[in-house]
Amino acid sequence: MGNWVSEYLPKSAVWDSSVSPSFPKFPQALKFSRSNFLDIFEIMANQLPIPVIVNGAGGKMGREVIKAIASASDMTLFGAVDRSPESLNADAGELAGCGPLEVPITDDLQGMLAAAAQEKQLGVMVDFTHPSSVYENVRSAIAYGIRPVVGTTGLSTKQIQNLAEFADKASIGCLIVPNFSIGMVLLQQAAVTASQYFEHVEIIELHHNQKADAPSGTAIQTAQMLAEMGKTFNPAQVEETEKLPGARGSLADEGIRIHSIRLPGLIAHQEVIFGGEGQVYTLRHDTSDRACYMPGVLLSVRKIIELRSLVYGLEKIL
């Protein structure tokens, strides 16, 4: 046999028995260990689509969110919750107008949160409900380990503080966003800049007549941002008298007044008006379609996975 090998194989291919065979070393990075296994598992989990629960799925904003999630490749509509009897058991996609998604609308938020908590990927709840229920909705989500993205306005300062403490203890991200529009963020930044040069400013916010809270969360946030500039606005020129209570609007911190208008035909609009000697500077943002909020909503769903505490305002994650 040895002669056969020598005869029919090239010399370079004949095995020299005096030389020990050598094999490539197994790469250190691929060696199995419990820590490496957990790292690989986390990478795989992060590649899974984000399961999202839409709370308030039957509302106008909820329907827009469902359509946006259905078109996002890195998200999946895990559940849809709404308390209105006319929405119950309807297919969330058909109700939203984007075709069947095989996700029936339920009124059981607690059950949906519990189910989402069993998923491998971290779950997110997007809440567009009502000021009277949003606080408990957010607390429940945090308790189940589900990250809440909150578009519902009407939370008090005390409630936001309590939620921040609860999120901190649970190390769960929470995003409260008064306005998801990029244009509104730009308006607010322009208003902060302008406030350095004007002593007088008032805010007018205009919304549809089905909005339950006033002033809007966006107007309150804008006033807070201006108040943080360290100056008091609108120094009194005369002693004012309101012949009808509320005629001069609501008074926020640092002398800033907010006026609220509610009319059918409106969606969401805001003006910040600065006045000075011989000039008026007006900043205005108009919403003509609720679709303008969806890039901000999707960004919030993606970013909240990285958070471990409560964050207030879209500008904080841009």
Q: Residue 233 is which amino acid?
A: F
CA of 21: how far to CAs of 1, 17, 24, 66, in Å?
A: 21, 9, 10, 61
List residues bridging with 48 in a β-sheet: none
Q: What is the dihedral of CA 54, 172, 301, 130, to 10 degrees?
A: 40
Q: Distance between CA 75 and CA 87 in Å, rounded?
A: 23
Inter-residue contact 64 to 291 (CB < 8 Å): yes
What is the biggest distance separating any 2 CA atoms in the chain, rounded to whole angstroms? 119
Give, for 144, the enclosing helix (H) or strand (E): none
Inter-residue contact 106 to 93 (CB < 8 Å): no
Active-site residues, by number, are 207, 211
DSSP state of 20: P
Three-state DSSP string of 22-62: CCCCCCHHHCCCHHHHHHHHHHHHHCCCEEEEEECCCCHHH
The angle subtended at Cα 138 by Cα 179 and Cα 182, nearest 5°, is 15
Inter-residue contact 51 to 123 (CB < 8 Å): yes
Tokens of 17: 């028995």
DSSP state of 291: G
